[in-house]
Amino acid sequence: MKRVEVRLSIAAVAPLLDLIKAVADELRVHVAVPVALVGADVDFAEVWREELLKSQREDCDRLFSLFDQEFFSDGVVAFDRDNAEAVLRACAALRLRFRGTHLEKITDEELEALEASSNMDRFAETEKKAFACFIFLDELQKIILKYLDPLSADGDEEIDR
């Protein structure tokens, strides 16, 4: 099975991991996307929520398993068919959580501008770090999406979202 190794900057990524871990811990008890079940009873909605949380926890655990001895010694993280989708989902959940908590005071327009310029001079240190995590998780998603489907067109940059 094909395995892709990506070398990351330890100096850039390691300082982000504590905050990402803290947000991942929040996802152990909060679903990233609100449960939207029309007309379902309470028991069903609760089982639904529990299953989503279980899935989130497993995905975040897979993400953190990337940052092992190999990462801290030479900066390498490895993807294969076994972990790529789980890590992709974990990144999606974490980005949504960051947006809804640490970055909630920033408007969509400001966030878009930041993604283009990364100029965060007027923001607090905590927001700067959260934004760095937000961007790092996005970059990780880009790498995995390319790995899963090398031929797919990445139209994200072409459309102003």
List residues near another protein by CB under 8 A: 31-33, 35-41, 43-44, 47-48, 51-52, 55, 88-89, 92-93, 95-96, 99, 108, 111, 138, 141-142, 145, 148-149, 152-156, 159, 161
Query: Least separation, in Å, of the C-beta of 84 and another protein?
Result: 11
Helix (H, G, I), strand (E, B) or coil at 76: strand
Query: Least separation, in Å, of the C-beta of 158 and another protein?
Result: 9
CB nearer to another protein: give 1 or 159.
Answer: 159
Distance CA 80, CA 102 (A): 31
**How many CB atoms neighbour CB 42 within 10 A?**
7
Query: Least separation, in Å, of the C-beta of 46 and another protein?
Result: 8
Helix (H, G, I), strand (E, B) or coil at 4: strand
Q: Angle 42-65/10-26 helices, nearest 10 degrees?
A: 160
